[in-house]
Amino acid sequence: QAVLTQPPSVSGTPGQKITFSCSGTTSNFGGNPANWYQHLPGTAPKLLINNNNERPSGVPDRFSGSKSGTSASLAISGLQSDDEGDYYCAAWDDSLDGWVFGGGTKLTVL
Amino acid sequence: EVQLVESGGGLIQPGGSLRLSCAASGFTFTDHWMHWVRQTPGKGLMWVSRIDNLGTSTNSANSVKGRFTISRDNAKNTIYLQMNSLTAEDTAVYYCARKANAWGQGFDYWGQGTLVTVSA
């Protein structure tokens, strides 16, 4: 059972904007930012969002993040078929003294 | 170019031990904390263990604490994960990951992973 809660799946059509949700607690999101990762089949996970809403160099501005209270979200605009894969939220957890991940949301592009 | 290359995975019987390695290149190794993260079949990512840049401080997830030990050799730009008393629940792809230095930043580089299968 993952510490952060994500819906198991989401789907969209090319060009659409979709949003992923991630729910945490005060011990993680209460005092720490959210990071988001993309995990495409057969590849290493890739950091998409730092510090709630910062894109690392090379990440397209189609990807954006936000956090409010103990919930975070990732949005992808202009959905592309190459975006199909799994998306994970993560944060440091003060109570567990370690990093925690969500269970991941599988994106299907119809 | 930053590269992280894991090795040491394989098939191991329950109760056995295995040591994973992760060779790093393309960056100043001693500037970064390093981590192990695993993905179990059909499930998500789980943080396993971390070590500070000098190798003086470590911590692990409760599920592996007391069985897994992370270490690093800064002369060889390599981190290790010694895994003992393995169970089927430890079957996973193990990734090493570099933690970006600024607060709030995540794991900015990952290796391709090494598969550990615990089975009789």
pLDDT at A82: 94
- The structure tokens listed for B86 are 């393995």
Please check the confidence at residue B90 and state whether its pLDDT lies above 90: yes
How high is the mean pLDDT of chain B?
Answer: 96
Q: CA-CA distance, B15 to B120, in Å (whole number)?
A: 10
Q: CA-CA distance, A32 to A21, in Å (whole number)?
A: 16
Q: Chain A residue closest to B3 (CA)?
A: A44
Is the CB of residue A59 less than 8 Å away from at least one CB of chain B? Answer: no
> Do β-strands B58-60 and B3-7 pair in parallel, antiparallel, or remain unpaired?
unpaired
pLDDT at A109: 95
pLDDT at B103: 85
Is the CB of residue B112 less than 8 Å away from at least one CB of chain A? Answer: yes
Please check the confidence at residue B47 and state whether its pLDDT lies above 90: yes
Closest Cβ–Cβ partner in A44, A56, A96 for B111: A44
* Residue range A33-89, pLDDT digits in tens: 999 999 998 899 999 999 999 999 999 999 999 999 999 999 999 999 999 999 999
- The structure tokens listed for B93 are 């792809």
pLDDT at B92: 96
Q: Using alpha carbons only, give the angle A3, B118, B111 rounded to the nearest 5 degrees.
A: 60
Please check the confidence at residue B104 and state whether its pLDDT lies above 90: no
Please check the confidence at residue B119 and state whether its pLDDT lies above 90: yes
> B120: pLDDT confidence band, cut at 50, 70 and 90?
very high
Please check the confidence at residue B69 and state whether its pLDDT lies above 90: yes
| Contact assignment for B44 to A88 by CB distance below 8 Å | yes
Q: If you average pLDDT over residues B96-109, what whole number do you get?
A: 93
| Contact assignment for A2 to B44 by CB distance below 8 Å | yes
Q: If you average pLDDT over residues B50-66, what whole number do you get?
A: 96
Q: If you average pLDDT over residues A91-106, what whole number do you get?
A: 95
User: If 0-12 CB within 10 Å is exposed, 13-18 middle and 19+ buried, where does residue A99 land?
Assistant: buried
pLDDT at B114: 97
* Residue range A7-21, pLDDT digits in tens: 999 999 999 999 999
| Contact assignment for A101 to B45 by CB distance below 8 Å | yes
